[in-house]
């Protein structure tokens, strides 16, 4: 099986690459990242890595690989900032969908208004509970 991960040098992309590679040696992982936010040191040595920008660079040679799955994490993870760069992130996603369509790659567009999916929103709601969980863990670890 072949998979492609965009944003593979970032937090989520690099962790997913490690997970897939460790889970199943038959999975070939290709990764794209322009290294604007992530670090090459994060990229598993088994990933076939391409330093490219998903918006401005040509990706056709990479997508000629007929991937079984593409995981799209290339973006700016600016939690506090994201409400203010919504238009930028939205247009980035539109560009990427145009690229997929142009290359005949099937994808599913999920639009989920009214569904709480913001990490910041979740932390705001259950932040205290999460902090208490960590405090308890640190206390327990310290008392051993
Ligand atoms: N980390 C979290 O807890 C979390 C939670 C919810 C949502 N998200 C969202 O998931 C996405 C990825 O999060 P992350 O924490 O891995 O972010 P990250 O910043 O660690 O990784 C994003 C990667 O994308 C790359 N990138 C950005 N623009 C690119 C482009 N045009 N072409 C190629 N590469 C590009 C960056 O270099 C970086 O390595 C973000 O949209 C983020 O908002 C993250």
* Ordered domains of the chain (ranges, CATH): 2-142 (3.40.50.720)
Q: Which atom of ligand 1 is nearest to the CA of 14?
A: 16
Asked if residue 31 has its Cβ within 6 Å of ligand 1, the reply is no
Give the model confidence (pLDDT) of 36-77 as tens digits: 989 999 999 999 999 999 988 999 999 999 899 999 999 877
Does pLDDT of 20 surpass 70?
yes
Q: How far is the CA of 79 from the centre of ligand 1 (A)?
A: 11
pLDDT bracket for residue 35 (50, 70, 90): very high
Q: How far is the CA of 44 from the centre of ligand 1 (A)?
A: 17
Ligand 1: which of 74, 82, 93 to mutate, judged by most atoms within 8 Å of the beta carbon? Answer: 74
Length of the chain: 144
Q: H helices of 24-118, where?
A: 60-63, 86-102
37 close to 77: Cβ distance less than 8 angstroms: yes
Give the C-alpha separation, 143 to 120, whole Å: 32
Give the model confidence (pLDDT) of 76-128 as tens digits: 776 667 667 778 778 888 888 898 898 888 888 877 676 666 676 777 778 88
28 close to 1: Cβ distance less than 8 angstroms: yes
Residue 136: CB atoms within 10 A of its CB come to 10
Asked if residue 62 has its Cβ within 6 Å of ligand 1, the reply is no
């Amino acid at each position: 099986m072949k998979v492609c991960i965009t944003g593979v040098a970032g937090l989520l992309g690099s962790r997913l690459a490690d997970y897939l590679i460790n889970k199943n040696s038959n999975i070939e992982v290709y990764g794209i990242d322009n290294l604007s936010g992530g670090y090459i040191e994060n990229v598993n040595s088994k990933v076939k890595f391409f330093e490219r920008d998903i918006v401005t660079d040509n990706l056709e040679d990479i997508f000629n690989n007929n991937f079984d799955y593409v995981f799209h994490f290339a973006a700016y993870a600016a939690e506090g900032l994201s409400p203010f760069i919504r238009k930028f992130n939205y247009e980035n996603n539109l560009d990427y969908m145009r690229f997929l369509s142009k290359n005949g790659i099937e994808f599913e567009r999920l639009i989920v208004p009214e569904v709480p999916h913001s990490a910041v929103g979740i932390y705001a709601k259950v932040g205290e509970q999460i902090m208490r969980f960590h405090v308890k863990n640190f206390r327990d670890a310290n008392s051993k």
